[in-house]
Structure 1
Amino acid sequence: MTKTGGRNLNRVRAKVFNMVSTGVVDQPINKLYDILSIIALILNLFAAFAITFDYMEEHYKGLLLAIEAVTTFFFAIDYVLRLFTAKELYPKLSEKDSVIKYIFSFAGLVDLLSFLPYYLPVFFPAGTTVFRLFRVARILRLFRINSYYDQLNVITEVLSSKKQQLTASVFIILILMMASSLCMYSVEHDAQPEVFQNAFSGIWWSVSTLLTVGYGDIYPVTIAGKMLGILISFLGVGMVAIPTGIISAGFVEQYQKLKAVGQFAEEENIHFIRIKLGEEDSWNGKRISEIGFPKDMIVVSIQRENDTIIPRGDVVLRVGDVVALCAEKAKDLQPIELREITINEGHSWNGVAIKDLDISRQSHIFLIRRNGEAIIPRGSVVINAGDVILLQDKYKRVII
């Protein structure tokens, strides 16, 4: 493949990746695809549940089967597109490795099970019942809606950040379950040999007791067993409280993080910027007072080699200085909004000069970061793939 052909393929792949990525709505076709994906999923789940009712199956079976066929075919096309764009999802891997990683990822397995069990009975009629069971995986596609709602996405973030603590608490619960089962066997075996036959016979009892379910089909009858059951019940309340407390603390931390810096994504709201001045930066040799910063934007500090310089109006900037900027809070304690946008191959701004961009009159490009260097935006500057654009909304004020 020629270099030009490879570049065109990468650009097409980037555009398709933006289209199939939930929540990327910078182009009408991307938003339309998201809407179609949600509608297809809702219709598919509706058909799967509705056909279980006798009345619906009797009167609308043909329609429900048609809905399932069309939406499942849509899931198959979506899976193929995601295989094609796997390189964009894992840019640091080779094309082959990125495809393999997507196939065996949780999202990839859910996407595969969303359509494959529907077609497998054609080749293996005997396994129809088992294949139908795997269609439940389609429900897991609902988690993609998390991309639209931070509140829903917090759940997965909390479980991921607290997985070590949760694993430790589950390990403790398992130890207590085995210990309580062995203890109950020791005191109850003689009185109930048919119930507590061996050390593992009390596992079900210990689970229902420690997790405060209290099913009641297995219970101690001796005085020692009842006293032991009371003690284990108290331990069960504490054991359930441990993972509950971990998750609750994780929710508080995550919401504080979201409130402070926003949710990191392809486009994110920021308050602080660090810029290292290169030799070609127009700020070199200028005093801070001579640089036209936007209103409410201030210089926090200047790092020059091993020294930290307190910024004053007469301080002259030099090559190699690391300038820290932030959005100063106004009287209403609401900072101005800055957005950091990473330009990829399929972005509509790629290869377009700043003067030709269709940007709202209430917004302007404040800075461009390219390969670690800061570029002052001018009308003739052409935006390239990989550039990080700092966009300021002049009048809009939000709390991050």
Structure 2
Amino acid sequence: MIKTKIYRAVEKGSHGRRMNVVFDYIIMSLILLSVISIILESVPEINSKFGYQLRIFNIFSIVVFSIEYLMRLYVSDLTHPSTTRFKSYLKFMFSLQGLIDLMALIPFYLPMLIKIDLRFLRVLRLTRFLRVLKVNRYNNSLNLIGAVIKEKKPELLVTGFVTFLVLLFASFIMYYVEGEKQPEAFPNILATFWWAIATLTTVGYGDVYPVTGWGKFISGIIAILGIGIVALPTGLISAGFMDKIGKTKQSNECPHCGKDIENRIP
């Protein structure tokens, strides 16, 4: 069946066909080239010389992505099964990947359908960069990172909440310590929150800094705390990532020969 062939081409799975691998590499290459073209368009010298070629390439990539989107919509009853085909269409269209695909296409087609403010259109064109997020569909490593973050979600939420409390506490203290001496730098707690973020992450832009003795002491404490607090989510994700890689490798190995089962493409 045509639908089965399209499904095997656009969707990864246990079927593992060479056609799927070729399709993946073509789309991934086109996504990366599209992002490069967006970057080149922002360079006036390059855009003035090769603007026409870049626009032609953009049209070509939009056509390919549109065909890919329609193909995925066509097999949505297989990828997003539901009671009716229409519901399967909706499930795909409102899924994360479906929305990313659609948002990457909208800036090209919208001006053809309705008259729109050109200033708004320029902002909307930035969503073309969402094409790079489509790579997530074709890259096992990115999917693995997503799975790790999902698995470590409770720990990351707790770490994020503790970080927010430390930032808020530091902002309160620094506002009352430095507010009178530097009313322009620490005018309110909300503005002081920016200083707390720059200090806790140890970025230290230097645009806002304490001048009093107590302020410098508190700033030093916050900077030292930041080294440990910022490292916590990094350590959690790294540990989870290594654990996930080990489990994935172990599950993909054949119990008899020890070879990678996933890489066998008939």
Q: TM-score under structure 2 normalisation?
A: 0.86
Task: Judge conservation of contact 2:3–2:75 (CA < 8 Å) in 1.
Answer: yes
Separation (CA, whole Å) in 2 of partners of 1:205 and 1:195:
9
Cα 1:256–1:31 change in 2 (3 A) is closer
Cα 1:195–1:208 change in 2 (3 A) is same
1:108 to 98, 102, 106: 98
2:125 to 132, 140, 163: 132
2:149 to 147, 152, 159: 159
Separation (CA, whole Å) in 1 of partners of 2:251 and 2:128:
39
Task: Judge conservation of contact 1:212–1:236 (CA < 8 Å) in 2.
Answer: yes
* 2:73 corresponding residue in structure 1: 83
Q: Percent identity?
A: 32
- Of 238-247 and 88-97, the range deviating more from structure 2: 88-97
* 1:21 corresponding residue in structure 2: 11
* 2:168 corresponding residue in structure 1: 178
1:245 to 235, 245, 256: 235
Separation (CA, whole Å) in 1 of partners of 2:216 and 2:47:
52
Could you tell me how far 1:20 is from its partner in structure 2? Answer: 1.3
Could you tell me how far 1:26 is from its partner in structure 2? Answer: 4.6
Cα deviations across residues 247-291 of structure 1 (Å, max 9, x unaligned)? 1211221122123212xxxxxx553xxxxxxxxxxxxxxxxxxxx
1:227 to 202, 209, 217: 217
Separation (CA, whole Å) in 1 of partners of 2:82 and 2:145:
27
Task: Judge conservation of contact 1:188–1:220 (CA < 8 Å) in 2.
Answer: yes
Could you tell me how far 1:197 is from its partner in structure 2? Answer: 2.0
Separation (CA, whole Å) in 1 of partners of 2:8 and 2:259:
28
- Letter of the aligned partner of 1:125 in structure 2? I
Structure 1 position 44 matched with structure 2 position 34: yes
Separation (CA, whole Å) in 1 of partners of 2:38 and 2:12:
23
Separation (CA, whole Å) in 2 of partners of 1:196 and 1:261:
55
Q: TM-score under structure 1 normalisation?
A: 0.59
Could you tell me how far 1:50 is from its partner in structure 2? Answer: 2.5
Cα 1:46–1:210 change in 2 (3 A) is closer
Task: Judge conservation of contact 2:32–2:132 (CA < 8 Å) in 1.
Answer: no
1:68 to 52, 55, 58: 58
- Letter of the aligned partner of 2:210 in structure 1? P
Cα deviations across residues 180-232 of structure 1 (Å, max 9, x unaligned)? 10011111122122222222221000000111111111111111111111111
Aligned residues: 262
Cα 1:335–1:195 change in 2 (3 A) is closer
- Letter of the aligned partner of 1:88 in structure 2? L
Separation (CA, whole Å) in 1 of partners of 2:5 and 2:98:
20
* Greater share of residues in helix: 2
Separation (CA, whole Å) in 2 of partners of 1:50 and 1:94:
44
Task: Judge conservation of contact 2:35–2:129 (CA < 8 Å) in 1.
Answer: no
Rg larger for = 1
Uncovered stretches (5+) of structure 1, i.e. residues with no partner: 1-10, 263-268, 272-326, 328-333, 342-358, 361-400
Cα 1:234–1:79 change in 2 (3 A) is same
Task: Judge conservation of contact 1:188–1:225 (CA < 8 Å) in 2.
Answer: yes
List aligned pairs for 1:1-400, cutoff 5 A. Answer: 11-22=1-12, 26-27=16-17, 29-91=19-81, 94-122=84-112, 123-126=114-117, 127-147=120-140, 151-262=141-252, 269-271=253-255, 327=256, 335=258
Cα 1:22–1:47 change in 2 (3 A) is farther
Uncovered stretches (5+) of structure 2, i.e. residues with no partner: none
Cα 1:23–1:62 change in 2 (3 A) is farther
Could you tell me how far 1:31 is from its partner in structure 2? Answer: 4.3
Task: Judge conservation of contact 1:210–1:232 (CA < 8 Å) in 2.
Answer: yes
SS of equivalent residue, structure 1 residue 43: helix
* Greater share of residues in strand: 1
SS of equivalent residue, structure 1 residue 14: helix
Cα 1:22–1:259 change in 2 (3 A) is closer
Separation (CA, whole Å) in 2 of partners of 1:190 and 1:59:
56
Separation (CA, whole Å) in 2 of partners of 1:20 and 1:69:
21
Separation (CA, whole Å) in 1 of partners of 2:139 and 2:13:
9
Cα deviations across residues 23-53 of structure 1 (Å, max 9, x unaligned)? 7785554444334323432332332222333
